[in-house]
Structure 1
Amino acid sequence: MSYKKAGQRASSNLSIALGAVAAASITFVPASADAQSSVTLYGIADIGIEHINNTAAGGAQTREVSGNLSGSRWGMKGVEDLGGGMKAIFVLESGFNLNDGTSAQSTRGLGAGATTTTRLFGRQAWVGLSFKDQQLTFGRQNSLLYEQAVVFDPMGASSRYSSLSVDYAMAGRIDNSAKYTGWFGPLTAQAMYSTRYDTGYGSEVPGAQLTGRFFSGALTYATGPFAASVSYEQRNSNTVATNTDTERRATAAATYVFGPVKGFAGYRYLRASNAFLPASPINVANGSEANAANLYWAGAQYNVTPSFNLTATAYYQDVHSTSADPWLAVLCADYLLSKRTDVYATAAFARNTNGSALGVNGYGTVAPGYNQTGVVVGMRQKF
């Protein structure tokens, strides 16, 4: 989601804003700077108590967890007016675990070739230029699929109990990336390219240009009560020996507002080469026990009052060449104590069939073949 658009969506819809940049309340402006230049400090602190049953280790668990409706974070964003409609922009955003103060993105990289990577600004770290309705940015950025999920998933790709539980890429962040966004009336066009999308596997490899490459594109159309999007992304394997193997996703989704109710529907296509599948496929983060899977979701948000809303949604993963096709159903109640503070309760139920292992918090978090119920009660403060 773009720097400019994220703030607009956050102010207009609380649930959509779950994965967007938080609206900030503290601004520092140098005395010598132009009135249009500023640096803003912002953040979200989200914590709750979760209870889940049938864990992967066996039995039930009650724990304090950080980042439920929104990942806890702090960050800085800035804009400098360069004149003639040109602006320099940046975002530095760090995720953290509120329950113990540790970094939420300190390491990344799974499987062969993975390394430990320390990330101070693990959520976002980018700089760029904007000119009228065009924007070009460089650095570690949210993937286009993530930006689509924030808007078109009823749960806003929240940290728990959302499309992110079914597919890790719904909250993808891409290292070494360049991103273009253009606004053309009701149509938004985006393109993204990375020379090495996950530095948890090291830097770019000389003589192996395909290793760790990433590219993506998205179109979003919004007018009146209707909005729709399509997106595509492709990742090449991070291992030199298998760098022609790919993981490809495409999405199509739409929303429509009927008075106080907003309806959602979406589809995600997935095709993954063997290089992206672990030795125990049932625990693979993308949920595919084979090389292909389709994800469907539908749901609604109901604004009962300006301060209270309900969200209900269901996700179904159809894994090809197997009958291990799980469901995830979610119900969330959110009450605003003020513009910056809310309390919430979220309940989810994951139904597994024929040995599938989808838990409410993702694949591999439940005993294979068992159903799982999870409940979180918490509060969120934005600053």
Structure 2
Amino acid sequence: MVVTAMAIVSMSSEAEAQSSVTLYGIVDVGIEHINNTPSGGALTREASGNLSGSRFGLKGVEDLGGGFATIFRLEAGFNPNDGTSSQSTKGLGSNGSVTSRLWGRQAIVGITGKGNQLTFGRQDSLLYEQAVAFDPMAVASRYSLLSFDYATAGRVDSSAKYVGSFGPIKAAAMYSTRYDAGYGAETPGAELTGRFWSGALNYSTGPFAISVSYEQRNSNTVATNTAEERRATTGATFTVGDFKGYAGYRFLSVSDRFLPTNAIVASGAPGSSAANLYWGGAQYRVNAGLALTAVGYYQDIHGSGADPWLAVFSADYTVSKRTDLYATAAFARNKGKSALGVGGYGTVAPGYDQTGVVVGMRQRF
């Protein structure tokens, strides 16, 4: 019996050395207070997913030998305050269909090895990956770069992504045949409908890093599938001791007939079709437990005076290897009837400023 048990342990160890499957996740919840809501007055509520979207997932790797391995990741977002899925529905198509998502954050499979990786499925966009690294708030669900542009946390259906590392340079490319399945499947005879492609270059050496990316998506409706959204983005960071500085810029161009209507340019003057977004900030690690972050964002809508800005200050204190406590405050300044709230466009009464404060805790497992 002892011999049998030792054999089982031995076989398990060999299997683990060759492959593994890991359950992981984040639970993030807090209490938020904001003023000047679209319906008027102030609001205090329990808010889930503040610094990080709450999630759970499975990831796995199998060693193929020769430096190659197959990988997979299944990741679902959820709201801990009510137990619902964060991505249960996404996109309402012209045919009235709604896509339900079990693994709404990611659902990928691929192969990796020798500095190269190729994956397929629903996965993070290259702009999302860039924004996480070059936004001081790491594209937090609230009070971050995401408040200005939904695409900075973009996920792409039916996509193929390649990432290659070449010394200090990382190159990536991505293509999708229908980036939002909420509008239906690929359309025969209308190949441009819902098409998406993107590319990125990252350079990192010592304390300095810089990134450039470009993405283009076509409208999801057949009648307007030549209409496009284009984004060109760059970001840089520089680290000196416990201090890390950030700077970034995004240019957005939107075709007149792009559907759904882009909320960013729609917030400006009639006919607005482009916008510049600038940001800069810093993070300072006071000690092993406490990190302070400050950042400012400004969006310039072409041909319009509706140009809002957002200032954010955040303190994050690590109490254990898996748990941290945080407090974040933000102020959104609106001009020319712009309607940027601390949590994004349309979350404040038009032309009004908004202040938001959230305190909470986050646990990783």
- Same fold, TM exceeding 0.5? yes
Partner SS, residue 15 of structure 2: coil
Between the aligned partners of 1:369 and 1:30, the Cα distance in structure 2 is 63
Partner SS, residue 109 of structure 1: strand
Between the aligned partners of 1:31 and 1:133, the Cα distance in structure 2 is 26
Q: Aligned-pair distance for 1:31?
A: 6.0
Aligned-pair Cα RMSD in Å: 1.5
Q: How many equivalent pairs are there?
A: 352
Inter-CA distance 112–363: structure 2 relative to 1 (3 Å threshold): farther
Alignment of 1:2-151 (within 5 A): 33=15, 35-109=17-91, 112=94, 115-151=97-133
Instruction: Tell me, yes or no, if the aligned pair for 1:108 and 1:115 is still in contact at 8 Å.
Output: no
Amino acid at match of 1:224: G
Partner SS, residue 127 of structure 2: helix
Amino acid at match of 2:61: V
Inter-CA distance 165–333: structure 2 relative to 1 (3 Å threshold): same
Q: Aligned-pair distance for 1:234?
A: 0.2
Unaligned runs of 5+ in 2: 1-10
Q: Aligned-pair distance for 1:132?
A: 1.3
Instruction: Tell me, yes or no, if the aligned pair for 1:168 and 1:285 is still in contact at 8 Å.
Output: no
2:192 paired residue number? 210
Q: Deviations over 1:77-117 (max 9, x none)?
A: 00000111110000000000010000000111157556311
Inter-CA distance 256–113: structure 2 relative to 1 (3 Å threshold): farther
Amino acid at match of 2:99: T
Work out which of the residue numbers 158, 161, 166 in structure 1 matches 2:140: 158
Work out which of the residue numbers 277, 283, 289 in structure 2 matches 1:301: 283
Work out which of the residue numbers 319, 325, 332 in structure 2 matches 1:350: 332
Instruction: Tell me, yes or no, if the aligned pair for 2:231 and 2:253 is still in contact at 8 Å.
Output: yes
Q: Deviations over 1:120-145 (max 9, x none)?
A: 00000000001210000000000000
Q: Deviations over 1:247-283 (max 9, x none)?
A: 000101100012111000000000011233667x7xx
Tell whether 2:187 aligns with 1:201.
Answer: no
Between the aligned partners of 1:277 and 1:354, the Cα distance in structure 2 is 24
Work out which of the residue numbers 217, 224, 228 in structure 2 matches 1:235: 217
Q: Aligned-pair distance for 1:60?
A: 0.4
Between the aligned partners of 1:287 and 1:144, the Cα distance in structure 2 is 25
Inter-CA distance 368–278: structure 2 relative to 1 (3 Å threshold): farther
Tell whether 2:153 aligns with 1:171.
Answer: yes
1:268 paired residue number? 250
Inter-CA distance 127–135: structure 2 relative to 1 (3 Å threshold): same
Partner SS, residue 323 of structure 1: coil
Q: Deviations over 1:196-222 (max 9, x none)?
A: 000010000011000000000000001
1:374 paired residue number? 356
Between the aligned partners of 1:111 and 1:288, the Cα distance in structure 2 is 23
Instruction: Tell me, yes or no, if the aligned pair for 2:93 and 2:183 is still in contact at 8 Å.
Output: no
1:244 paired residue number? 226
Q: Aligned-pair distance for 1:33?
A: 1.9
Instruction: Tell me, yes or no, if the aligned pair for 1:73 and 1:96 is still in contact at 8 Å.
Output: yes
Partner SS, residue 91 of structure 2: coil
Inter-CA distance 287–302: structure 2 relative to 1 (3 Å threshold): farther
Amino acid at match of 2:132: V
Instruction: Tell me, yes or no, if the aligned pair for 2:265 and 2:301 is still in contact at 8 Å.
Output: no
Partner SS, residue 33 of structure 1: helix
Between the aligned partners of 2:72 and 2:154, the Cα distance in structure 1 is 19
Tell whether 2:299 aligns with 1:314.
Answer: no
Between the aligned partners of 1:287 and 1:255, the Cα distance in structure 2 is 31
Work out which of the residue numbers 291, 300, 305 in structure 2 matches 1:323: 305
Between the aligned partners of 1:262 and 1:36, the Cα distance in structure 2 is 38
Instruction: Tell me, yes or no, if the aligned pair for 1:287 and 1:363 is still in contact at 8 Å.
Output: no
Amino acid at match of 1:324: A
Instruction: Tell me, yes or no, if the aligned pair for 2:50 and 2:142 is still in contact at 8 Å.
Output: yes
Q: Deviations over 1:210-243 (max 9, x none)?
A: 0000000000001100000000000000000110
Instruction: Tell me, yes or no, if the aligned pair for 2:323 and 2:364 is still in contact at 8 Å.
Output: yes
Between the aligned partners of 2:14 and 2:292, the Cα distance in structure 1 is 47
Between the aligned partners of 2:43 and 2:286, the Cα distance in structure 1 is 32
Q: Aligned-pair distance for 1:380?
A: 0.1
The alignment-based identity, stated in percent, is: 70
Provide TM-score, normalisation by structure 1. 0.89
Partner SS, residue 231 of structure 1: strand
1:182 paired residue number? 164
Partner SS, residue 150 of structure 1: helix
Between the aligned partners of 1:327 and 1:254, the Cα distance in structure 2 is 20
Between the aligned partners of 2:295 and 2:134, the Cα distance in structure 1 is 12
Q: Aligned-pair distance for 1:335?
A: 0.2
Q: Which runs of 4+ in 1 moved over 4 A?
A: 29-32, 110-114, 285-288
